[in-house]
Amino acid sequence: MTGTAPLSPQHLHSVPAAPPTPREEAVQVRQRTAWTAAELMATEFPEPKWAVPGILSEGVNLLAGPPKVGKSWLSLGLGLSVASGGKAFDAVPVEGGPVLYLALEDTPRRLQTRMGKILGGQAAPAGLTLATQCPPLPQGGNEAIANWLDRNPDARMVVIDVFAKMRGTSPPGASAYDADYTAVGHAKRLADHYGVAIVLVHHVRKAGSDDFLTEVSGTNGLAGAADATLVLKRARGQADGVLHVTGRDVDEAEYALKFHKSAGAWQLLDGPATDHTISDTRAAILQHVRANPGARPKDIATVLPQVDADTIRRTCSRMADAGQLTKDASGRYYPDTTAQAREVSQVSDCPVTPTDQHERPGQSEFELSGPSGLPDAASQHGRK
């Protein structure tokens, strides 16, 4: 490759020079594609590694959202959190490990400015590698990322911002669906081979939809090939955004987020997303009814003196019609536990292995020297 390329291609499959490590043995288990039923049941598979427990698992994660909604701020913040072993969204503890962030629409100056705002005076993590150029996946990008992953065996996440810059040209004669599926397939092979979370930042359609999966720009082949799809949508009420998540290894959930412009940071809000996206009056009523099941409108009015009693009665009735509350024959209101169970954050209930979740894990040191021509970690991430 030329000297301007940030990552140097290397073949995906490295030739082992020593007996396989536990990680290499886990890779071999993932690579096997056929078993007898008895063999399959007797095989011990490693638990999925979580970049962000409950939200981002190993595999391909398609992160989509409208322009200027804050996808790049979100993905850069996640990269800093995972690389340092801090808290993602200022709420979810993560295990630290190397992260590769391909900021293909940014300049080094813009990245420096954004990181400075997010870090707020804290030291930049040495475990985060940033690059502003990389060839498309089918034309050398696969090998370039594999080269970095080979040198960073403890890597936890790779972010490609944006995916359109690296998907490459479509195969001749392929349908739109097949082309999309093939494009994501390049990233999936890397994710499956190395057991790492790969985040593909993408866009949504202009037209909205009740099903967030159908809002992802392109055909269903994109979401179909990805292991998980995350859609960041603008919200109303107290939340600035709602992150919709679904996937093979992650429970479907909605998370209310607030964007702190001065810090460039997305924060996860407590409780179901609907608590933060409905009106202040509805949110206050819902919180009171959850704490006091069987409350009557007059009871609620005593704790909400700023809202007149008629408004509370009408609002309770409308919330019952909308499925946010249930009402018995005597006029008492109860929380809709079915809806609550569906919307409650799954962050604390996600499956993690004992070795995959530590209180404050250390970060791994790694080298960036070699044919890629990348500067070392200190010069990449030091304060300027």
pLDDT (tens digit per residue) in 319-346: 898 888 999 999 999 987 644 433 333 3
The residues, ordered by sequence, that sit 6+ positions from 63 with a Cβ below 8 Å of its Cβ are 71, 74, 75, 199, 200, 201, 202, 230, 231, 232
Determine the Cα–Cα distance for residues 19 and 158; give it in Å rounded to an integer.
Answer: 27
User: Which one-letter DSSP state was computed for residue 46?
Assistant: P
Determine the Cα–Cα distance for residues 50 and 144; give it in Å rounded to an integer.
Answer: 23
In tens, the pLDDT along 85-131 reads: 999 999 999 999 999 999 999 999 999 999 999 999 999 999 999 99
80 vs 239, which has greater pLDDT? 80
- The model's confidence at residue 271, banded by pLDDT at 50, 70 and 90, is confident
Whole-angstrom distance between the N-terminal and C-terminal Cα of the chain?
Answer: 28
Structure tokens at 91: 């709420």
CB-side neighbour CA atoms (13 Å) of 291: 9
**What is the average per-residue pLDDT within 278-295?**
85
pLDDT at 212: 59
pLDDT at 336: 78
Q: Looking at 179-183, 264-268, 336-340, which range is the least confident one?
A: 336-340
Structure tokens at 148: 């970095």
Report whether pLDDT(49) > 50.
Answer: yes
Rounded to whole angstroms, what are the CA distances from 246 to 36, 56, 236, 362? 30, 10, 22, 30
Dihedral of alpha carbons 63, 64, 68, 69, sign: negative
Q: Looking at 133-147, 150-164, 284-298, 354-368, which range is the least confident one?
A: 354-368
- Mean pLDDT across the chain: 79
Q: What is the DSSP string of 257-269?
A: EEEETTTTEEEEP
Determine the Cα–Cα distance for residues 63 and 222; give it in Å rounded to an integer.
Answer: 11
Nearest-10 crossing angle of helices 71-84, 108-119: 70
Determine the Cα–Cα distance for residues 11 and 373; give it in Å rounded to an integer.
Answer: 17
Give the closest residue to 246 by CA, choosing from 73, 10, 61.
61
**What is the average per-residue pLDDT within 4-25?**
49
| Identity of residue 276 | H
pLDDT at 278: 63
354 vs 42, which has greater pLDDT? 42
pLDDT at 287: 86
Report whether pLDDT(259) > 80.
Answer: yes
pTM over 0.85: no
Q: If DSSP codes are grouped into helix, strand and coil, which group holds residue 102?
A: strand
Q: Looking at 41-45, 208-212, 213-217, 361-365, which range is the least confident one?
A: 361-365
**What is the average per-residue pLDDT within 23-35?**
67
CB 185 within 8 A of CB 178: no
Q: Looking at 164-178, 273-287, 312-326, which range is the least confident one?
A: 273-287
310 vs 146, which has greater pLDDT? 146
**What is the average per-residue pLDDT within 338-367?**
37
pLDDT at 366: 30
For the chain, how many residues are written? 384
